[in-house]
Structure 1
Amino acid sequence: MTVSAALPLGGALRARPRLLHSVRTVRVVWQRELLRFLHERVRMGTTLLQPLMFLFVLGAGLGGLTHRAYGVDFTTFVYPGALVMPVLFSAVMSAGSIVWDREFGFLREMLVAPVGRTAIVVGKALGGATTATIQGAVVLALARAAGVPYDPALMLTLLGEMALLAFMCACFGVMVAARISSLHAFMGVSQMAVQPLFFTSGAMFTLTALPGWLAVVNRFNPLTYAVDPIRRAVFAHLHVSAAARAHYAPGVAWGGRQVPVWAELLIVAATALIMLAVAGREFRDTQ
């Protein structure tokens, strides 16, 4: 074997252990996040309380004040928003473990260990996405109570879309937590960012006839492109008229042209990867 052929082969052999080491690091951090979630039963209960109140109390209350347009119950309409809520809040707040670890010194031990910081970030994001998807699946199990059928194709579609949403939100949380040293500051910043994102995403209202300023905010909100595919999937499996689908799930339009679902999901995935890259860079610079 010539020297020129041996050099690339040697580089590949050296790269393989590094890759395996990074994968092992991601798995360990992911498992730690999952175990922490399973031991925090209060957190699980409080996170699920919000969407249940949103679905059965707010949905029923507002449904009594509004008429049933096209024969669709208001609780059915807000069900996609109730799916998004636990995923969004749980995924973002899961990144608070980074701040907690920093306050108690455990993060410093992780940073001085012979592991890649990017692998730690990926593990944190995947861990937060997993726990958020689990909580979203609990609300998904209540579909029948909201008038949504237990169609296997629909359930799998919603679960996949929620997992992608959870990953984007977890990347956002890790990006925010990378530079914050106080848990109280993280909670405040997260709430300040998450609530406007949720309320302008279309989780609580239809995208038809929005005021001009709200339509602009809605189109530039990345959460919009996760809420809309979920709502469109739900209404595609309901026995309602075409007029009802056009009213309640019209889709996101740019310049009069509707954005296809695959493009919306691509926007969510691209946003997640961009925020993950930013979080990785911020994490590499942290001490």
Structure 2
Amino acid sequence: MATTEAIRIAVPARGAGHDLRAVKIVLHREMLRFVNDRTRMLSMLVQPVLWLFVMGTGLGSLVRGAIPGIDYRTFMYPGMISMTVIMTGMFSAGSIVWDREFGFLREMLVAPVSRGAIVVGKCLGGAVVATGQGVVILAMAGLVGVPYSPGLMLSLLAEMFLAAFTVTAFGVMLAARMKNMQTFFGLMQMAIMPMMFLSGAMFPLANLPSWLHVLTVVNPMTYAVDPMRQAVFSHIDVPAQVNAVLNPGVRWGGFQVPVALELGVVAALGLALLAVGVAEFKRAE
């Protein structure tokens, strides 16, 4: 009589190397998805370009006499970089909801990898994609009076990546439990638009009413936009009084917040949001 033998199934051992490969795969998938979606690439650029060249030119014509020696679009340029990476990072995070609707997320969650690796890969993928999108805005620097200084470009790249990672982690945290894209994008607009308007991306932070100053100080995106503006203004020549109006920095009462601390706030927030996102995924189905 024939006997049957049990077939052994070998499952790869879990470890740091295994999780790193999972991070790489998720990151690579995010990049392929973005590169193959030309419509998404174009749409993510249209809004900041319109704000910079249309709104910036219109506002500049109104305030030209008050800020001699500088194009208002130069002031808006760091804010438009931030808008580009923030919107791209959030859309990358939104792909989690899409994957859930089509069943791919379930396959990822049952794979023999830690859910933390999936979240980290997602956040890194969104950050890389958003930074790549931001490079297109960097290429437009000369059109708005920003010099193509290697030091400036490298500083802006690093700050873009940090902001993109944090906002993608925020998006992943929001998307971890959501079931449909409409809910996610509605909540995204409700969260992102106020943060963008209150970050100083489109108006100076100097001489604000006290209630508006408080809102800008507690807004985390302020600490992503201001270091980029500080970097840009350190490479252009503007009158001291104009610099004081357009580039006052962030103040906590009488304390001028240094750029290093601002970047530290963004990095700490990104890590905290990443931890919350991992916890949400561990409770997900």
- Superposition deviation, residue 67 in structure 1: 2.4
Question: Gaps (5+ residues) in structure 1?
Answer: 1-15
Letter in 2 for 1:23: L
- Kept in 2, the 8 Å contact 1:70–1:243? The answer is no
Question: Gaps (5+ residues) in structure 2?
Answer: 1-12
| Farther-moved stretch of structure 1 (167-176 vs 60-69) | 60-69
Which residue in 2 is equivalent to 1:170?
Answer: 168
Which residue in 2 is equivalent to 1:26?
Answer: 23
Which residue in 1 is equivalent to 2:46?
Answer: 49
Which residue in 1 is equivalent to 2:265?
Answer: 267
- Kept in 1, the 8 Å contact 2:14–2:112? The answer is no
How many pairs does the alignment contain?
272
Which residue in 2 is equivalent to 1:108?
Answer: 106
For each residue in 1:149-169, what CA deviation from the matched residue of structure 2 results, as whole angstroms up to 9, or x when unmatched? 111100110111011000001
Which residue in 1 is equivalent to 2:55?
Answer: 58
Which residue in 1 is equivalent to 2:188?
Answer: 190
Which residue in 1 is equivalent to 2:68?
Answer: 70
For residues 184 and 247 of structure 1, the distance between their equivalents in structure 2, rounded to whole angstroms, comes to 40
- Kept in 2, the 8 Å contact 1:83–1:139? The answer is yes
For residues 67 and 105 of structure 1, the distance between their equivalents in structure 2, rounded to whole angstroms, comes to 54
CA RMSD of aligned residues (A): 1.0
- Kept in 2, the 8 Å contact 1:93–1:190? The answer is no
Counterparts of 1:1-287 in structure 2 under 5 Å?
18-68=15-65, 69-287=67-285
- Superposition deviation, residue 66 in structure 1: 2.0
Identity of aligned pairs, percent?
A: 55
For residues 208 and 105 of structure 1, the distance between their equivalents in structure 2, rounded to whole angstroms, comes to 49
For each residue in 1:65-103, what CA deviation from the matched residue of structure 2 results, as whole angstroms up to 9, or x when unmatched? 222413211111111111111101000111111101100
For each residue in 1:189-213, what CA deviation from the matched residue of structure 2 results, as whole angstroms up to 9, or x when unmatched? 1011000010001101111111111
- Kept in 1, the 8 Å contact 2:162–2:267? The answer is yes
SS of the residue corresponding to residue 95 of structure 1 reads helix
For each residue in 1:237-280, what CA deviation from the matched residue of structure 2 results, as whole angstroms up to 9, or x when unmatched? 00112222222111101121100000000000000000000000
Letter in 2 for 1:198: M
- Superposition deviation, residue 235 in structure 1: 0.5
* CA 64–252 in structure 1, closer or farther in 2 if over 3 Å, else same: same
For residues 62 and 255 of structure 2, the distance between their equivalents in structure 1, rounded to whole angstroms, comes to 33
Q: Which has the higher helix share?
A: 1
- Kept in 2, the 8 Å contact 1:161–1:226? The answer is yes
For residues 169 and 45 of structure 1, the distance between their equivalents in structure 2, rounded to whole angstroms, comes to 20
For residues 232 and 106 of structure 1, the distance between their equivalents in structure 2, rounded to whole angstroms, comes to 42
Which residue in 2 is equivalent to 1:10?
Answer: none
Letter in 1 for 2:109: L
Letter in 1 for 2:224: A
- Kept in 2, the 8 Å contact 1:95–1:173? The answer is yes
SS of the residue corresponding to residue 207 of structure 1 reads coil
- Kept in 1, the 8 Å contact 2:14–2:113? The answer is no
Which residue in 2 is equivalent to 1:7?
Answer: none
SS of the residue corresponding to residue 247 of structure 1 reads helix
For residues 269 and 101 of structure 1, the distance between their equivalents in structure 2, rounded to whole angstroms, comes to 27
Which residue in 1 is equivalent to 2:9?
Answer: none
For residues 151 and 113 of structure 1, the distance between their equivalents in structure 2, rounded to whole angstroms, comes to 45
